[in-house]
Every structure is written in C-alpha cells, then in structure tokens.
Structure 1
C-alpha cells in the first residue's frame, strides 16, 4: 500500500503514527516547509502543496500512490485537488481506493433526531454545503477512475492536545446550556483506525465516523473536571455566551448521529464514548500533547 495524503494535519498524523510500518510508503502535503520535521517524525514523506499548483515531486509521488486520502477542505472554487487533477487515473495509474474526510455537518439540523447515512443531507452553513458538493465531486471522480470512494463523515474531533482537559487547564472551558442540544464526538485515534480499516478493505460509500453517545457539551466539561479534580466552570445560558459566529453556528444544528454502518463494515471503536476516551487520556497523561495542531472541526467540549 502506497498512501498519498492531501492535507497531512492532526487527523492524518494520527493515522500515520498509529499505522507506522504497515504501508510501503506514505507521502503527505503541507503548506509550510516548517512542518517537514513534524511530518517526518510521524512517518510521512512531506511535500509542499499551496492549493494552486502541482510540483514535479508531488506529481511523481502521486504516480506511485495506490491509496489516496483527502483531508483538505474545499472552498468557493470547489475542491482544490480535483481542480488540479481532473483525471485521477492519468495522474495516479495505480490508484485503488480514495478516502475523503468530510463532516456530519452535511446532514444539517434534524432537531435532535437520529440520522444515518440514508438520512437527507440539508447542510446549513456554507462550509457544510461545500463539503457536500466535494463529497459528490469525489464520488463522481472515483466512479470515472473505477475506484471505490469512502466518505468519512466526522463529528467533533478531539484527542491529545485538543480536549476538555486542555480547555480547563487554560481557563477557557465553558459549560453552555442550550436545552435539548447534543453533539457527537470522535477521538482522533478512531478516525485513524476507521480510515485504515476502510483503506485496507478498499470499501466505498458514506460512513459516519462518530461515537456511540451524543451528549450535551456541558456534560463533557463536567466529566473532565471531575477526572481532573477541579471545579467545573459555572453553567452559562447559550443565549448570553460570547461566541464567535462559527462557534455559535454549530449550535444551530442538533442531531444524534448513528455509527451503525461503520460497525457493520467491521470496525470496532477504541473509544465508544467521551467517558472512555477522557478516562484513558487522563490515566495515560497524554492529554496535553504539546505538538498537537489545530483541526478544522471544532471540539464540542
């Protein structure tokens, strides 16, 4: 397996680190050469990609790829990879599988009801609309290339360096109360595990990569505070909270996301809910990893 990753950030690094030595080669892109050392330490051969051009080194690595993982977010002009590589088969003659990391935001608001991969997609925010458009574009591109495309719809990402413990330690944690509001979450190690499982089996289709327990965000903060042995921050009504427009927009969507499809495909979650994950991180003392980097999906905690 020769893997090429467009956008080797937080989730992709967890994927490469947890599967070190299982692939023949892993190449990945970054926008800054300053991150080369970090990627190399994670088992990735780093390549620069500015989203506008494909260099000779990048094109050469693509020709060797059998498995393509796309993490880069689309924009107003669509998906930057497909814009530069309209013919996947010509650029990657050995391509066997594509994994596209998307978001459960494509479902939009379902007023707290359960959704699965057959539920209607009614994205609310522009970024989720763009993600759904990119999902469709990648599915069509995979069909044209004759390879399966797995759409991994991720819920709120957390893990080392990106969790409620970090927010509590920094004094930025909040317990916002919006009655009836729940979110799903996903530990970054389960993103890595699900991605490898789908890649190895060359499975295509849409898969919700999310935990078993949609829960109010204030419960996550309270549980983390209990583990730390510190008082939780006071409850605060959502309406009066000082939030960025993006953070506030996430509270406009309320749904419970089922992960039955990825389980049926054979994946067993390492951290089925936030309680298991937070307890493991606290016991292992790896919650405050200093080199963890920002991810596009915010942590709902």
Structure 2
C-alpha cells in the first residue's frame, strides 16, 4: 500500500516535509485556500486540494498519515470544527497523525529552560488558542497523535538577509530576552523521524541547541554580509506594532533532548550561525 500523507494546511513546514518524503516514493496531498498556491504545490509534486470547500475532505479516506498545520483562531480549532467527526470516525485507521503547535504554549519563563513536561502557562492569546487546540486533538479516542511544539521558524526565503540588505532590519534590544528557533529542514527531519518511529501521545519540542537574543541573529547576518550593524533600539521606546511587541512578551530557552533521545535526530543546523551560513551559501549558488 502506498504511503499517503495528507497535509491539512500546506504551509512552509509542511512543504519542507513533502520535499523530504516525495523522493522516497510517498504520495503527498495538500490543502490550500487559493488556486495560485495550488499551482505552487503542484509544481513541487504535491497533489493540491482547494479546501475549505464543499463538505468533508474525500482525501481523508485515502491518507495513511495526517499532518495538521492550520492555526486555531478565536472561534477554536477550525479543522476539528469542519472535520472532527469524520476524523474521529476513522481515528484508528491512520498510521500517524501530527499536529504542529508552538513553544508559545509554555508562556514566559524569564529566560529559564522549559521542556515537554513544563506546565503550560501561555501568556498570549495565540498561545492559549494553541493550548486549547492541543487538548482538543488529544481528546479524540484512538487517534495516533503526535504534537510538535515548534520554535521560531526560519529557512529559505525566511532569513534576515533581505531586511539587512535593504536597511530595514532592526536590532530591538530587551535585556534578558532570548528566543529559540529552528530551521525548516530540521522540522522536516524531526517529522520524518517521528513517522518512522510512531509513538502516539508523544510531544516533542522542535528547536535548535542555541537559544539566543534576537539582536544577536541580526548582528550575525550583517556580519556575514559585510554590512554595517543595524543600530540598536531599546525595546521600551521602540515603535512597534502590537503584534511585533507581543513576541517579546515571553522569554525562554527550550530544551530539545527528546527529539535526539527518542527519534535519533542529529540537527542539520544546531544553531543560527550554521543555519544562516547555509542560507547565504544557497542564495549565492542561486
């Protein structure tokens, strides 16, 4: 039987996983909201489905594996609202189900370390929505669910170089502020490793080894480009949108021991220096 992955929400991380699985003979089906995005997915070898559309997803019956990559909103978890009954009815038929969440569910730890056993105390509404969504998925009996709490994602097309070159990059300095981050290729390899070693009920933090202040990442990008360091701006007085400011509401260091111990993962990009160097090399090759 052909292994078939259905991605509900085929965004940046899901596409990275598809690029890893397709050469191994997988069939990958991916939902998207737009015809334009459907053409992009098709060009990558992913079978696109425009959804939400009419009625339930027929592809659910064809999928051996299921990846949920849709963000919840104020009204709750949209995939469960639309497809919850259909998924629950065939829960035990899936070989593996993955839900992409966020390390934002841990809340603010003032730079302290968190792991998968840390109590969830999200301090933003986005984090609380994710916490509720995780619980809703976990409540489906018999579903072989795996939860992946992703740190800040970067990768091709999502690095700091364009802003540094354009002179629009900002070094916002908030003393004690650190973020964990992860390269998209490492997300893909963690998901693939979990698919190869299913452990229903497992929760994994997906991040690199080096939580770092955001201004350090911008500074290193400028250094790699040989461009002037963007001026430092004090967080307290910097002009920022409410959304941008909310990202600084939490500071924590995220442990990733479990992906190494249980899934045998060796990170491709263990820190932002390795990741940025690779991104720059890829740009120069292109």
Task: Give the TM-score category using the shorter length.
Answer: over 0.9
Structure-2 separation of matches of 1:59 and 1:126: 29
Structure-2 separation of matches of 1:229 and 1:273: 20
- Residue number in structure 1 paired with 2:113: 114
Check conservation: 1:63, 1:93, Cα contact below 8 A.
Answer: no
Deviation of the 1:89 alpha carbon: 4.5
Q: Match of 1:181, SS?
A: coil
Residue 136 (str. 1) matches residue 139 (str. 2) = no
- Residue number in structure 1 paired with 2:58: 60
Normalized against structure 2, the TM-score is what?
Answer: 0.93
Check conservation: 2:92, 2:143, Cα contact below 8 A.
Answer: no
Check conservation: 1:63, 1:92, Cα contact below 8 A.
Answer: no
Deviation of the 1:286 alpha carbon: 6.3
Structure 1 residue runs without a partner (length 5+): 290-301
> Please, which of 39, 50, 71 is the counterpart of residue 48 of structure 1?
50
> Please, which of 261, 265, 283 is the counterpart of residue 285 of structure 1?
283
- Residue number in structure 2 paired with 1:200: 196
- Residue number in structure 1 paired with 2:156: 160
Deviation of the 1:259 alpha carbon: 0.4
Structure-1 separation of matches of 2:63 and 2:215: 43
- Residue number in structure 2 paired with 1:103: 102
Distance 1:44 1:286, change over 3 A: farther
- C-alpha distance after superposition, 1:185-214 (max 9, x if no partner): 111111111111112222331100001001
- Residue number in structure 1 paired with 2:34: 32
Check conservation: 1:59, 1:91, Cα contact below 8 A.
Answer: no
Check conservation: 1:85, 1:91, Cα contact below 8 A.
Answer: no
Deviation of the 1:24 alpha carbon: 3.1
1:1-301 maps to which residues of 2 (within 5 A)? 1-50=3-52, 53-55=53-55, 59-87=57-85, 88-90=87-89, 94-141=93-140, 144=141, 146-204=142-200, 205-265=202-262, 266-285=264-283
Deviation of the 1:91 alpha carbon: 5.0
Structure-2 separation of matches of 1:179 and 1:254: 10
Structure-2 separation of matches of 1:129 and 1:250: 14
Q: CA RMSD in A?
A: 1.7
Structure-2 separation of matches of 1:243 and 1:140: 38
Deviation of the 1:60 alpha carbon: 2.2
Q: Match of 1:240, SS?
A: coil
Structure-2 separation of matches of 1:156 and 1:6: 21
Structure-2 separation of matches of 1:128 and 1:140: 19
Moved over 4 A (4+): none
Deviation of the 1:15 alpha carbon: 1.2
Deviation of the 1:23 alpha carbon: 4.5
Normalized against structure 1, the TM-score is what?
Answer: 0.89
